[in-house]
Amino acid sequence: MARYTGADCRLCRREGLKLFLKGTRCYTEKCALSRRAYAPGQHGAGGKRGGKLSNYGVQLREKQKVKRMYGVLEKQFKRYFSIASRTKGITGKILLQLLERRLDNVLYQAGFALSRDQARQMVSHGWTKVNRQRVTVPSYSIKSGDEIEIKAKSKGLEILRQNLKIAAERSRPAWLGVDGEKFSAKVLRLPEKEDIRMPIEEQLIVELYSK
């Protein structure tokens, strides 16, 4: 499965926004965006981000931000948009739902993982069951009513306990019911735009792909 293997902190600096890709590091002074609040590369050190963007530039940056936040590459992101555009309803809303319903995102939102990267590893290593069936595909799309369990050995269980303790400092989305003692979660309903804590203007992405 293809995935981004570069430096995560460069992505946050490029977007000028914390995408919370590095877990607890993002909340400390070690965060690269806190120390170097300018875009990466030879033209970034001047403190400017290229001046005023065109409409296309604004749309592109929004798409790149969302794509990087959820850890998907261009081909996969286009596939999500294609599905959303063919589905009855508001395309932008459906696109965000598809991204939020990814299993790796669900583990992150539930607090079992401190980043989507870590959640992706948990799924790939076989820690996760959905409705009692082992799932090893991070992009697996959950549905309303699905029950998710995390099964790990002693070392993994300690990681889960630490993660849940740290994640307790941030609010969990209302569409997930989490049982920290049993390392399980239930999807109470499908996520809505209002459940997403990050600022996203999905209509800009729709306009970009509609050209």
195-207 confidence digits (pLDDT tens): 998 899 999 999 9
How do strand 133-134 and strand 147-150 relate by DSSP bridges? Answer: unpaired
Residue 187: strand pairing partners: 176
DSSP E strands in 115-204: the ranges are 128-130, 133-134, 147-150, 176-179, 184-187
Q: Which residue has the higher pLDDT, 140 or 42?
A: 140
Spatial distance between the Cα atoms of 45 and 27, rounded to a whole number of angstroms? 23
Looking at the structure, do residues 169 and 127 belong to the same domain, yes or no? yes
Q: Average pLDDT for residues 117-131, to the nearest whole number? A: 96
> Which residues span the domain enclosing 207?
55-100+197-211
Spatial distance between the Cα atoms of 111 and 118, rounded to a whole number of angstroms? 11
Q: Average pLDDT for residues 133-141, to the nearest whole number? A: 97
pLDDT single digits (tens) 17-36? 656 565 555 555 655 555 55
Q: Closest Cα partner for 122 from 76, 147, 74, 157? A: 157
Looking at the structure, do residues 145 and 106 belong to the same domain, yes or no? yes
Looking at the structure, do residues 86 and 165 belong to the same domain, yes or no? no
Read off φ and ψ for residue 150, nearest 5 degrees: -110, 120
Spatial distance between the Cα atoms of 201 and 183, rounded to a whole number of angstroms? 33
Q: Average pLDDT for residues 164-180, to the nearest whole number? A: 92
pLDDT surpasses 90 at 59: yes
pLDDT surpasses 60 at 40: no
Looking at the structure, do residues 79 and 131 belong to the same domain, yes or no? no
Q: What is the pLDDT of residue 176?
A: 97
pLDDT band (50, 70, 90) for residue 54:
very high
How do strand 184-187 and strand 147-150 relate by DSSP bridges? Answer: antiparallel
Please report, rounded to a whole number, the percentage of residues in the chain having pLDDT higher than 70.
76
Q: Average pLDDT for residues 131-159, to the nearest whole number? A: 95
The domain that contains 175 carries what CATH number? 3.10.290.10
Looking at the structure, do residues 107 and 93 belong to the same domain, yes or no? no
Q: Which single residue is written with the structure tokens 């996520």?
A: 191
Looking at the structure, do residues 76 and 151 belong to the same domain, yes or no? no
pLDDT surpasses 70 at 4: no
